[in-house]
Structure 1
Amino acid sequence: MVQLAGPPAEVVSSGAPATGRYAGRIARIDWRALSGPFQRSWLWRRLHHKRWQYVGLGNDELFIGLAIVDLGWTCTAFAYVFDRRSKSLLANWRQDGLPSLQCKVSDRPLNGCKAWFRGPGASLSLQHQQATDSLSLSVQTGEMQLQADLSLAEAAPILLAIGPIEHGAAHATQKTPALSVKGQLHVKGQTYSLDQAVASVDSSNGLLARNTDWRWACAHSPEMGFNLQSGYFGSNENALWLHGALIPLGAARFEFDPKRPLEPWRISTADGLLDLSFSPEGARQEDRNLIIAASHYIQPIGTFSGMVRASLDAPAHQVKGLLGVTEDHQSRW
């Protein structure tokens, strides 16, 4: 089983991205030291610098997905609640805003992180609480109110992935394993405890290409979880968490029908360490065309079943009914 090194001090080394997968948290993602073939003008960086904080949070009743996204020239945020029993969205909110004025995603991905969005009738925030080593999450919209603390203190090793981007410059992301949750959600006149929920966080920061696309899968429980991506970042962020160990995975293959994304998916890795089927229960989706920018996005929510293993000679670990999401996303931004 491959052991990942600890994170570098900076995401840039000798003018280039400090390419690799690491186990642990980095203090800051700062691209200003890029030079040579990775150097870009101030205006290019302003238009291409993308930062986001995404949180997925679920239990037997619900799945909640939300994000705060700073696109450089604009910003957006969304939050939704999916009822797993009725297989329908109880809330589905989204709003755009002006960067710095209505939205900010700091360059600190987890330690010291601060992300917020404020718009008419809505506010979202995700902030690190150093005293408890937790992330304080707040969502207030006309449809839902959520307050929760996501504990980093006892989490398994957190993935850091850094690498170059074709037609862009560089990208870095921190992906957490399962995080324990304390909090509650109020939606549709009902209050739900989130104390038995499991959360995961995707904190990403990069100088990306004008056209960016990806397929993504993510699911977590206290015993095991995974993060898989095929697209703009290659296999850099593919990883498995198994009984507290962080294991890098090979290239991911997503087999699904883009025209029928609520039919079953199959997801596997080239190294033979993961082979799963995904059964969607429902989805949040959105297609937008703003002339200068456009996006196609669908995030099915459902369960994974199949097999994972720590190495080719290790016994298979059976996966059954593991809650998570997949995603098919294309952006011109």
Structure 2
Amino acid sequence: MQQLIQANGQPHYGILEQTPQHINYRDFDYRSPMGRKLGALSKWRNFHQFQYFGLISPTLIGGCALAELSLVAIGFVYLYHPLSGRMIERQFKCPLGLGTNFSQTPDEGVCELRQGRNLLRLENVGNPLEKRLLVELDDGTRIDARFNEQDPVFNPMSLCTPTAVNGWVYARKVAGVRCSGEVRSALGDFDLRAIDAFAHHDWSAGYMRRETFWNWACLSGEAQGRRVGLNLSCGVNETSFTENCFWLDGELLKVDSVRFEFDRDRDMSPWAIRSFDGQVDLRFEAHGLHRERLNLGILASNFRQIFGRFSGELRPFGQPVLPIDNLWGFVEDQYAKW
């Protein structure tokens, strides 16, 4: 698929067999809730995009995100060492996106943030189909991680859903792929292949609800000799279609709607995550937390990304039950106004 927005100004909706080569949001027939055509300024102000690259292993956990919200660009990166409980984390905010670059090509482009001697860079390469994370911080921390979606073959979740009365969201999700590269930091030096690290990736963009929230769960690892990835959400990308799925050895298996049960007043309390169709029944035990709060009036965010272990069962239709025993992953609880 060459472009997400069609000649009639509307997106291609649904679960897509191919990743659009260009998220041509400026061609969207964007209107107010009362049907008035909106111009270039409104299209710029209300279009948001973000990208996330996560690392998972029993030895080291990490995450890096970049978000472009028109009035401000935000980036964060963290590393967590489960054995010692030590953590490195940094956050960056760039008014009007100064010092940042965001590409609207999910499989071929660069998103990056530069601030002083700090660099957060997410590269997407089309041939071979590879995702790369490069982080260089002024304290000497360096992350260079990558994965290939074609060796072995992997089927990403690619979808576009209507949002509110006048918007849409495109998302491309990957989980359950092995990762290579290296990390150098105050937590130690790590060869990602040697510690059997897995990765997950999220590329999302669109005209999202002005005020929204979501819960999200993701795991990547190996269970019973099979490569397993999981992507579940509630509160976003649920109009007509959902992004909920898991992967077994790179094969995408669709999941129905999902319920997240947890205590918002206790950051490290257990979570229960179950799908309506019975394919997912998991419990999550927290081990660490990355948190951000931002309240600028017209922009606000209350964000918790919690890393820990999943246990329970995946029950793919027509296949044996797959026990999940203490696999590392993430859950997320976020409120956003933008």
Question: Structure 2-normalised TM-score?
Answer: 0.89
Match of 2:150 in 1: 153
**Residues 1:263 and 2:269 aligned together:** yes
CA distance in 1, matches of 2:49, 2:30: 23
Give 1:74 deviation, angstroms: 1.4
Match of 1:27 in 2: 21
Match of 1:250 in 2: 256
Q: Which amino acid letter does the alignment assign opposite residue 324 of structure 1? A: G
CA distance in 2, matches of 1:236, 1:9: 23
The correspondence of residues 190-229 of structure 1 with structure 2, limited to 5 A, is 190-195=188-193, 196-221=196-221, 223-229=227-233
Match of 1:72 in 2: 70
CA distance in 2, matches of 1:279, 1:216: 15
Match of 2:103 in 1: 106
Describe the SS at the equivalent of 1:17: coil
State the Cα deviation string for residues 169-205 of structure 1 (Å, max 9, x = none): 1110100132322211111162111122111110011
Describe the SS at the equivalent of 1:285: strand
CA distance in 1, matches of 2:49, 2:137: 22
After superposition, the Cα gap between the structure-2 partners of 1:157 and 1:189, relative to the gap in structure 1 and judged at 3 Å, is closer
Give 1:167 deviation, angstroms: 4.9
Describe the SS at the equivalent of 2:212: strand
The correspondence of residues 128-143 of structure 1 with structure 2, limited to 5 A, is 128-143=124-139
Computed over aligned residues only, the root mean square deviation of the Cα atoms, in angstroms, reads: 2.0
CA distance in 1, matches of 2:63, 2:166: 27
Gaps of 5+ in 2: none
Give 1:100 deviation, angstroms: 5.4
After superposition, the Cα gap between the structure-2 partners of 1:316 and 1:213, relative to the gap in structure 1 and judged at 3 Å, is same
Match of 2:3 in 1: 10
State the Cα deviation string for residues 58-111 of structure 1 (Å, max 9, x = none): 21111101011111121011000111112342x1101111455411221111x2
Gaps of 5+ in 1: 1-7
CA distance in 1, matches of 2:324, 2:155: 21
Match of 1:5 in 2: none
Match of 1:4 in 2: none
State the identity as a percent: 26
Aligned positions, number: 323
Give 1:20 deviation, angstroms: 1.1
